[in-house]
Structure formats: C-alpha cells, structure tokens
Structure 1
C-alpha cells in the first residue's frame, strides 16, 4: 500500500501525455532557381513562407549555378539530405546535407549521367529513403538522343524524350551505377514516391507535348522499383501540372503540384489512393512558389527555423 502514492503520479503523467502535433515543410525555389526556400503548414492546406521567404541555401555548383526542384528527405539519424537540378543542360545533380535545414554541408556534384554520351539533361532529381533496407533512391529525368523511339513533340520541346534513371546509395559517398528506372513508353519526368501500408505509390508527369498531356498519373509497386509501366488515368484536371509532391496528412494523401502555366499551386486529395478530389481551391501557398517536396519535421526543428 505504501507504493501507491509514489506510483500514482507517474501513471497519471504517462496517461496524460499527448503525441506531438506534426509540422509540415515544403521545399521550393523561386524564379529560375535562386536557391532553397521553405514553407510550413500545420494542416496541409495553408502554407506560409518561412523567414520572410528568404533563401536558406544559395546554389554554388553546375554550369548555370541554379537550384531548382529541391528534394529533401530525413534519415533515421536525423540528417536531412537534399538533391536538386543544377542547370538546364547538366549531366550531374547537386547534393548537400544538414541537421537543422539552416547550416548545410559543402555542395557536391553527383555526375549521374556523365557515362552516357550525348545526354542532354538531368532534371528534377527526387530522393526517396526506403527504411526497410536503409537505402536512398535518387531518380531523375534525362534525354539520351536515340535511346527510345521518338515521340511527337511541340517545336519548343523538339529533341526531348525523357525517361527516368536512378542510382542508390547508403552514405552519399558510394553510389550504384546509373540504371534505367522507369520507361512507360511516353516522355516522363517528375517522379515522386510515397510509401503507405507497405506499398509504394509513384506519382509522375506525362510530358508528351503533341498532343499535350502534361498531367499527373500514378503507378503502384510492392518495392521502390520495378513499377508497372501501365499507369493510371490522370489524377489532375484540365490544366497543365508538374512536380507532384505527395504528403500524408492524417488519413488523407495530398499531392501538391505546380500549375506552371497558371503560375499557381494546386492539389488533389485521396483517402484510398484510388479516388481523387481536386482541392486546389482549398490550399494556399506563398506567391511565386515552384516545384519542390513536402515532408514532416519535428516541432524542435520547426521552432529552430522560426
């Protein structure tokens, strides 16, 4: 009986604890690729710029010294890893890491396509961390002239016929050989992966331009590779969309995207990843936001950024 007064406060303290409310961040760029910007949200709908829309990291590498399409993931040790497009016609991609999203490592070039003669570009690299085997997947879009049957293109996109390529790494020092990642039979860019319930959902842009598609579609796999080349019908509407950024918010999956011809951001939402509702009129983003990624961070990281 003497133990009860000692144990009761401990039990009450444990039972009253509540889980930390999540904070979501969105990495993006402005203009032609000025550097890393960050926005935040607590509900997945209203996004506000951090630091008065300041640049958290300015580009230093690549032919054009750009930082477009910043993709960020956090590993199990708390380190954030970022890759980005360094230029319009580069054969490598940029990489840097950080523990707080403010102080970054030296920027490095990963020469992912240098062994493929004639490669035109390495666009919109995306990071995915597979917790099952503790492996990072980096995938991006490249055009290798003559590698695939030509598709009809508009005059402005003549000579571009993208496919997705990838490398894997566990430490960002040693990388696998570059290999073909996804070949759906059409020009494809801007792939992004969400893992949910042990399955891997890859969102992608059909880049065909004649006749124009320019929409977001979906394919599903039991692994973070070997995705079926038969993709879904468009999950976005009658507008041009690119740069899908999936995010799990509560029980729903949001997919944000750049309505680049309209110079605004949009979103679709689904509870079952089969039926999609366009909620573009329910989300707000900082003015000028361009292609990035959405991810969850701890309250400590967020408070430090604010």
Structure 2
C-alpha cells in the first residue's frame, strides 16, 4: 500500500512538472504554442502583421518567441469593409477605370503600432489604384476593433494611389507618423523617372496625436527616383534609419537605407543596396543586439532576411528564418504572452 501511495505521489509530482513546462507563463490554461524558443526573461512575444494575396480576406497575424521562427494565429483578425468601391479617372489613360478587384474591399500592407495608452493603431492600403486615402482602425486587444475609416491624404494631387502606409510612434515627440508612397504627375518626372518602365513614386507623410486631427501632408524623402515601401527605425534619441525600396525598373527593385536625426527627416547618406533584385516590403525587429530586416522576395513567393548591427554591413539570414507560406508585407510588434494566449483562445473559439 505504501508503495502504491508513493507511486501516486511521484506520478502527481511528475505531472505538475510537465504541466509547468508546457503551460503558458501567464497560466492561460492551454499548452504553449511552439513558435521559436520561449523567452527566458521578458515574457514578450513577437506578432507579425500581414496579408495573403489577393488581399480580399484581411489582416492576419503570425507569432514568434525568438523573432526567427513563426507560426500562424488561425483565421482572419480583421476583414476589410471599406475602399475599392468606385471608378476613378486615370490621367495616364484619359478615361474612367475600375480599380483592381472592384468592387470588393481589400486590405494590403497592414502596419500596426501600440500607442502609449495601450491602444493598437492599424493602417493599410485601401486599393491598388484609384485611392487618395489609407485605411485606419484601432483596438485595445487586437480582437475587438473600431469602425474602419478612410483617412484622406492626397486630395490636392492628381495621384491615384496611396501605397503601403506605415505607422510609427515617437515617444519624444508624443506623435504618430504615417508615411506612404504616391505617384508623381509626369510633369514632375526626373530624368531617372523617365527612364523607368513603371510610374514614379515618392514618399509623403503626416503626423497626428489622436487619428482625428492631422498635420498637413508633406514630402518625406525624395531620392530623385522611384521609391516605395518605407519603414522607420529608431535606434536612440536623434538616431533614425529609414529603409525603403528603390523601385526603379529595370535594374534595381531592391532595398537600401538612409539616416537622419529626427523622424521628420531630412535623411541622407544612403547605404549600399542590401537585398536581391525584386525585394520589397521591409520591416525590422531587434533580436538581442542585432536587427533583422525582413523583406518580401515577391518574385519567389517567400520572405528573406538580412541581419545588421549598424545598417551599413548586412549578412544574409534567410537560412535562419521560417514563416508560413503566403504571408506578405506587414510589420512586427512585441506584446505580452497574455495577449498571445487571448488571441489563440479567441481563434480556437470561432
């Protein structure tokens, strides 16, 4: 009998030990998903916002504990409800045109940032063409979302696109920055623009403190040639890196970065190109002492990555990362483990 009770005691202790190893740190009552190596100290996890072509479904999220190995949170986080709903006048074609996938709303290039009050702010591309605004919604928990809104930005321009809006919060200025690319009219083409086989995009931006009132739209960075897909990194106060795509074709279509002392710019001293041809949609996550720059190798239908410590020297890191197939252009944020557990519970209950 004593041996029997001893057996039960040992079995119980083993069960508790195994449970302690597999339960989420916040004791959410379900096994920990195995995406990367669990954090040993911070209790933080990474979320990677993105979408899948043809962008009709909406926002998707991946998660990781090491910033390298990713798994999907099942299902759609937020479906598009606005945009892509009207004909537009093409100045290039001199006629009225239906936008791509008209009349279905799309959600491309989602970008998320968390504000100082804990609110998550999401912006996205509303349409391939025929749009002078970007999409906006907010959430306290990434599960329940506000009404989706159009934020008009290029109303005084003949441009027909607002591509890849990126949202960035600066603690020192207590302001949100949103920057994007829009096409120039042909009257403003440079010699480099005229040599290209596609249109000429430039970067623009605005600032806001509440996503209700906005600053005037201004040019953000103009290298004198076609550029899109900007991403801003703050290393320290007064030390900013702006990463973007050199969108000239033929011959470039790859990534580089420029440096500045303020999120308002100006930016200068461009780095060497550090990603293969046909790379776009850069986003950055700091893991330990290095920065990983993820990019969409869109011709190959996959993600690539490079690592850097100074944004001047870059090491290929494709072999170090793994992502679910089909994930495209987005941003990476960090959240508490409890946030991930809540998202997974919600996904499993739908």
- Tell me by how many angstroms 1:177 deviates: 1.1
For 1:50 and 1:71, locate their aligned partners in 2 and report how far apart those are by CA, in whole Å: 17
2:206 aligns with 167
Q: Report the secondary structure of 2:319's partner residue.
A: helix
CA contact (8 A) 1:182 1:229 kept: no
TM-score w.r.t. the length of structure 2 is 0.78
Aligned to 1:35: 58
2:42 matched to which residue of 1? 20
Q: TM-score normalised to the size of structure 1?
A: 0.88
1:298 paired to 2:336: yes
Secondary structure of 2:281's aligned partner? strand
Of 245, 262, 278, 1:240 maps to: 278
**Which whole-Å CA distance do the structure 1 matches of 2:145 and 2:280 have between them?**
28
The counterpart of 2:106, out of the listed 66, 71, 75, is: 66
Q: CA deviation at 1:19?
A: 4.0
Looking at structure 2, the residues matched to 208 and 291 of structure 1 have their Cα atoms a distance apart, in angstroms, of: 19
- 1:134-190 CA-to-partner distances (Å, cap 9, x unmatched) read 100000000031233233222xx2xx1000011100000000111111101110100
Structure 2 equivalent of residue 176 of structure 1:
215
Secondary structure of 2:339's aligned partner: helix
Contact 1:91 1:113 in 2 (8 A): yes
SS of the residue 2:81 aligns to = coil
* Kept in 2: contact 1:24–1:296 (CA 8 A): yes
Aligned partners of 1:194 and 1:247 also within 8 Å = no
Q: Structure 1 regions of 5+ residues with no counterpart?
A: 1-17
Aligned partners of 2:194 and 2:138: how far apart in 1? Answer: 38
Name the counterpart of 1:140.
180
The number of residue pairs the alignment matches comes to 280
Q: Is the contact made by 1:151 and 1:208 (CA closer than 8 Å) also made in structure 2?
A: no
Partner of 2:226: 187
Q: CA contact under 8 A between 1:70 and 1:84: conserved in structure 2?
A: yes
Partner of 2:162: 122
Note the alpha carbon deviations across 1:80-135, whole angstroms, 9 max, x for none.
Answer: 0010000011111000000111111000000111121x112100000010010110
Question: What CA RMSD, in Å, does the superposition of the two structures yield over aligned residues?
Answer: 1.3
